[in-house]
Amino acid sequence: DAGITQSPRHKVTETGTPVTLRCHQTENHRYMYWYRQDPGHGLRLIHYSYGVKDTDKGEVSDGYSVSRSKTEDFLLTLESATSSQTSVYFCAISPPGQGQPQHFGDGTRLSIL
Amino acid sequence: AQTVTQSQPEMSVQEAETVTLSCTYDTSESDYYLFWYKQPPSRQMILVIRQEAYKQQNATENRFSVNFQKAAKSFSLKISDSQLGDAAMYFCAYRRNFGNEKLTFGTGTRLTIIP
């Protein structure tokens, strides 16, 4: 296994509340990613990080922020959750080198009521 | 922008038979990688196979092989001797060969294995 842990695995919360999802890696890789998975859309990139304090937006970044204060941790925050953010969220890491596949965590199922 | 299309939302195959999942993509790049990921009911994303665009030889991993047609921008996955454990969602993904680029995914194909 690639050494990625996502927490929590499941969460139910209410509209308007802040939510933070955590991704922790033990591989010391520079690159980390947050995706969301929705039926009919596959996985779509929310944000990614290419080093400590270095982050950038993906294609569906509205309503999300990220932080990376340590190599091993990449946090995804929903400042004020909305029902449209109900989804399964995946963290991924990428080893260095050309063509290396991304390795995924086990996902967090987030339900916003 | 790159796009990946999986036109078969669902497929089914008899156990021990062969099935082919389709994937097409659109890109103006010439240097890229293509991947197939498997997602069983456990929700894990498991890498099945990888293909480099500059390699003409089709990748093979045990019972899994691809038919990569670069000019047609087609990347199909063939599963031989299908097993019950092959039942899953299968995602095709594209990544251009530049730094640690993001993956662009198709919408997935749900594969059912009929005993």
The pairing of beta strand A73-78 with beta strand A64-70: antiparallel
**Quick check: A97 pLDDT over 60?**
yes
Does B100 contact A96 at a Cβ distance shorter than 8 Å? yes
**Which residue out of A43, A50, A74 would a mutagenesis test of the B interface target, given it has the greatest number of B Cβ atoms within 10 Å?**
A43
Closest approach of B115 to chain A, Cα-based (Å): 26
- Best of A25, A104, A110 to substitute, by most chain B Cβ atoms within 10 angstroms, is A104
Asked whether A51 and A30 are in contact (CB, 8 A), the reply is yes
Query: If pLDDT is split at 50, 70 and 90, which confidence band does B2 have?
Result: confident
Average pLDDT over residues B102-110: 94
User: pLDDT tens digits, residue range A11-48?
Assistant: 999 999 999 999 999 999 999 999 999 988 899 999 99
Please provide the DSSP assignment of A49-101 as one string. Answer: EEETTEEEE-TT-TTEEEEEEETTEEEEEESS--GGG-EEEEEEEE-SSTTPP
A104, closest residue in chain B (CA to CA): B45
Given a cut of 90, whether residue A110 has pLDDT beyond it is yes
Per-residue pLDDT of A76-90, as tens digits, reads 999 999 999 999 999
